[in-house]
Amino acid sequence: MEDDVFKALADPTRRRVLDELVERDGQTLFEICARLAMKHGLGLSRQAISQHLAVLETAGLIRTRRQGRYKYHDLDTAPIERVMNRWLRPDAPESTP
């Protein structure tokens, strides 16, 4: 699982997606695409952003939820916290997800 987190964080586009979810959680794919285009000048297709979101979800960094026709993406910082605690607090017991 840690390898998935590092792989997800290695890509600058995925880090920008996480930045956008920190700023405003619970966005749809359309909203994320629009914010990346307007704020960061990224003209990626919805399919490309969707693939980045899938990597983030596999790593546990985002959760998705359906509400009617829409799929919302929410940030989950627990995987990052577990990885960081490994070095910052090595004596602390590992928490389970």
pLDDT at 83: 87
Average pLDDT, the chain: 91
Residue with tokens 């880090």: 15
pLDDT at 89: 78
pLDDT at 96: 52
Query: Could you report the per-residue pLDDT of 38-55, keeping only the tens digit for each?
Result: 999 998 999 999 999 999
Length of the chain equals 97
Q: Categorize the per-residue pLDDT at 88 as very low, low, confident or very high, splitting at 50, 70 and 90.
A: confident
Closest by CA to 16, choosing from 79, 63, 61, 68, is 61
How would CATH label the architecture of 2-88?
Orthogonal Bundle (1.10)
pTM of the model: 0.86
Count how many Cα atoms sit within 13 Å of the Cα of residue 83 in the half-sphere of its side chain.
Answer: 16
Average pLDDT over residues 24-40: 95
